[in-house]
Amino acid sequence: MQQCPARRRNGAVAGAKDPRPPMVAGAASKDHPVGPRQGRRPRAAPQPGSDALEKDFIMASVCSYCGKKPWVGKQVSHSHRRSSKRWSPNIQRVKAFVNGRTVKVDVCTGCLKAGKVTRPPVKTAG
């Protein structure tokens, strides 16, 4: 039995308008009760002058000594479905002695273990 070429598999006629109203971004519908964002609320932007700007910082992912940075690849499941994956280096923010001054630097743990970072002298109570 041959199908009419104008009909699709789901029985809809090609070129016919969808009777449902178009989905508005962020709006809830019968199919998506929470909307396209799946219940996540957008984070409010910090206001200038508030100290939320200083509290909400993003950790660096690049070592300032060796330049090690994240690398990307594919995560492969048992059924061989592939999804993107990101491997980040273990970056720590430590105090280091650089050019006679104590500064905070972002260093990977490999450089810390190798002794590439000169730690500042310990202050004694006196």
Within a domain: 103: yes
Rounded CA-CA distance 111/119 in Å is 12
Alpha-helical runs (H) found in 6-58: 52-55
Q: Is 63 exposed, middle or buried (0-12, 13-18, 19+ CB in 10 A)?
A: buried
Cβ–Cβ under 8 Å, residues 108 and 117: no
Tell whether 119 is covered by a domain: no
Identify whether 28 is part of a domain: no
d(CA 47, CA 17): 45
**pTM (predicted TM-score):** 0.49
What DSSP designation does 117 have?
A: S
Residue 53 has a pLDDT of 45
Domain for residue 74, yes or no? yes
Higher pLDDT, 124 or 60: 124
pLDDT of residue 122: 83
Task: Report the domain count for the chain.
Answer: 1
pLDDT in tens, 53-99: 455 556 678 999 999 999 999 999 999 999 999 999 999 999 999 89
* Contact yes or no for 83/74 (Cβ under 8 A): yes
Q: What's the CATH number where 92 sits? A: 2.30.170.40
Q: What is the pLDDT of residues 1-55, one digit of tens each?
A: 565 656 666 666 666 666 666 666 555 555 555 555 555 556 665 555 555 445 5
List the structure tokens of 119: 């730690």
Domain of 78, in residue numbers: 59-114
Residue 7 included in any domain: no
Tell me what pLDDT residue 89 has: 94
Query: And the tokens for 123?
Result: 């202050």
Task: Tell whether 65 is covered by a domain.
Answer: yes
Q: Is residue 106 part of a domain?
A: yes
For residue 76, being part of any structural domain is answered with yes
